Structures are given as structure tokens and as C-alpha cells.
Structure 1
Amino acid sequence: MAGRRLTREQRRAQLLDTALAIVREEGADVLTLARVAEEAGVSKPVAYEHFATRTGLLTALYRRIDQQQTEAATAALDTQAHSLAETARVLTEAYVDCVLHIGKEFGTVTAALSSIAGTESLLREGRERYAELYLRALERFVPLPKGEGMPLMLGVIGATEALAREVIEHRLGRTEAVAVASRIMLGAVTGPEEQGVNTSPLDRSA
């Protein structure tokens, strides 16, 4: 990118890439707007113009990760999810792969935000947004009791993230993590005797 002026969007992306690299190499404690500006080769006012505060920078990083997870899951659902079992596999695969792609910095950014007062709603909204995506995808194939869907999906997401962390720490293989997370999801939305049976969209005309 050197030698030409970046658009505002390109500059923001560059700063976020730089911030993520710092988190990956050194953790979130050293992350400041001044450090990001220095590493990106821009003046401090440029970084402050985009994010205003360190919290603003961490928030932008979190939202980027959240968007990547949502886009990956949506794209896979559109092309691969034609049954309940496939939907469970696609959703868990997309989540695990996104966490693996981002690596430990996802947890680092989340932990850093968790320690800042006033960010609880941001983290909750991110989890609930992804849970809503799960609900919309799964309810094409199986009805969920009113009021239970969101708690179920939040639990599934928590379990899937924990399994992805095990893969990052080399205590579990990716394929095994996806398989276990898929089983957890199927178990959450169907009875044991129903798993693998209701694998096509619901036909209410029968």
C-alpha cells in the first residue's frame, strides 16, 4: 500500500490488521492507538480519528470478528445446508474454522473487552446475533419450544467455542471438534431418538 493514498475504508482496514497483528504477537495489554499508529506508519491523529479510544479499537476488532463469523456461516448455509444434519455441521464448522483462523486473538480481544465497564451489552449482542442466525437456520427443519430457542443456541455456541479452543491448544482435532459440536447442537434441538430422522425441511401439509 506504500506509495499511494489509501481511502478511509482501506486505512481503517490497515489499522485493524495492524492491531490484530499486535494482539497476536504480544497480547491486548500492549495495544494502544499510539502503538497501532506507529506500527502502521501513520500519525497518531489518524488512528484517533478512526477509533477515538482504545475501547473503540477493541470494539472494532470484536465487530470485525463477529462479522467474519456471520458471513462465513451465512455463505455456507446458502450452499450446503439442505438437511438438519447438514445445517448443524455447517454452522459448527463455520464457527470453529473462524475461531481457528482468528486464533487466540479472538479470546484475547473478548477478554480485554470483558474487563472494560460498559462493554457487556456489546458482547451479549454479538452472542445473541449469532444465536439468532442459528435459530433461523435450524427452525427450517425442526420447531423449537417458544422461549427456549435462544438459551439453547447460546449454550451450543458456548460449547462450540470451548471445543474450538481445545483445537487451538492442540488438545483436540478440528474434525473431532466439529463432529462433537454438531452432536451437541442436534441433541439440543431434537430428542435422541429423532437425531438423523428429521433431515428435510418440515412439511406441514402432511
Structure 2
Amino acid sequence: MPESLTRQRLSREERHRQLVEVAWRIIREEGTEALTLGYLAKQAGVTKPVVYDHFTSRSGLLGALYTEYDRRQTALMDAIIGKTEPLAEKLAAVIANAYIECVLLQGREMPSVMAALAGTPELEQIRQDYAATFTAKCRELFAPFSRHPLSDAALRAMLGSAEGLSWAVVNGVITAQQAKDELFHVIIAMVQRG
């Protein structure tokens, strides 16, 4: 069957999903350096204009990968939180476990995407958006357990700890369990200080 007929069968959303999946595969198998829009087009079996229509630039593609990762992480965390008894310790454990597990699911690909995006406006905006979402979620979840509303500094400390511990796990510096335990203690300390 001609390739052009295959391409026409996918909706824009399906094509986008396919391109994202192929991009993750390229990063996993060949590294972030191998990921260019032209190479993605070749590996996905589409023309360059199709890829450029979805991402416009390499930074746009990497930003889309980061956003997709954040969406999965948030959905995983929200699903587990929804089933968790509303106690500070249980919620802290859920957040610590979900954050580290999501990073482990993506493996080494996510840090390399972040490194490739370093210094780009796309990464800065995505990180700001994610930080706002994460800190708002934590502020709301832990408000009933804190004498005072959690400060922005405390919430940023939670996020910074989660990011740093995740990086350490992915790079083999500490175990996943050590990261989960430490993040749990950081969250509880911030809530108790509040």
C-alpha cells in the first residue's frame, strides 16, 4: 500500500501521538542528539513538512515531549491521590512514590530531554507551568494538616527535592526507595513547619 495512503488515515491527534512515540523511541535507542525533525520524519515514515507542522522546531518537539511527560505524571499522581485516605502521611507517601515512579518509567530519556532544552524559552515556560500546578496541588492537599498555609518557599522546596532526588535515582546515585523515603520526609517536614 502506498505510504501516502497510510499517512492520510491518521487524524492530526493520532499523527501527533505517533510522532511523539517515535521521538521517545529515538531518544531511548540513539540518544537525544539523534533527534532532529528530519530524522523523526524519516523514522515515522512521513515528510518533513508533516513533522514541522506539528512541532515547528526541535525545541518545540522537545517541549512537547516534556509536556507529555508532565501530563502523564500528573494523571498518575491524581489517580492515586483520589484513592488515598486524606491523612498527611498517606498523601505525602503517595506524592513521593508517584513522583519517583513516574520518573523511573521514563528512565534516562527525560533528563536528556531537559538537558537538550536547557536555556530555551520552551523549557522555562513548561517548567513554570508544571511548578505552578504541582505547588497548587500540594498547597491544597496539605492545607488541612498545617497550622498556616504552606509558603511558596516550602512548596518550591518540595518540588526542588522531588526533582533533585529523581535525578539522583535516574543517574544511579541513590536507590528509588531512598529517594521516596527522603522526599516523604521533606514533604512532612514542610507541612509540620507550616
For normalisation by structure 1, the TM-score amounts to 0.82
Q: Distance in 2 between matches of 1:105 and 1:159?
A: 20
CA spacing shift, 1:119–1:161, aligned 2, 3 Å: closer
Deviation at 1:54, TM superposition (A): 1.3
Match of 1:112 among 101, 112, 116: 116
CA contact (8 A) 1:132 1:150 kept: no
Deviation at 1:95, TM superposition (A): 0.6
Q: After TM superposition, list the pairs within 5 Å mapping 1:14-163 onto structure 2.
A: 14-117=18-121, 119-145=123-149, 149-163=151-165
Q: Distance in 1 between matches of 2:38 and 2:179?
A: 39
Structure with more of its chain in helix, by fraction: 2
Q: Please give the root-mean-square deviation of Cα atoms over the aligned residues, in Å.
A: 2.2
| Deviation larger for 100-109 or 163-172 | 163-172
* 2:174 pairs with 1:177: no
* Count of matched residue positions in the alignment of Structure 1 and Structure 2: 189
Report the AA paired with residue 51 of structure 1: F
Q: Distance in 1 between matches of 2:28 and 2:64?
A: 16
CA contact (8 A) 1:69 1:94 kept: yes
Deviation at 1:117, TM superposition (A): 4.5
Report the AA paired with residue 175 of structure 1: Q
Report the AA paired with residue 168 of structure 2: E
SS in 2 for 1:80: coil
CA spacing shift, 1:10–1:85, aligned 2, 3 Å: same
CA contact (8 A) 1:128 1:150 kept: no
Q: Distance in 2 between matches of 1:140 and 1:75?
A: 20
CA spacing shift, 1:62–1:144, aligned 2, 3 Å: farther
Deviations 1:9-55 (A, max 9, x none): 11111101111122223332332111111111111111111112112
Q: Percent identity?
A: 31
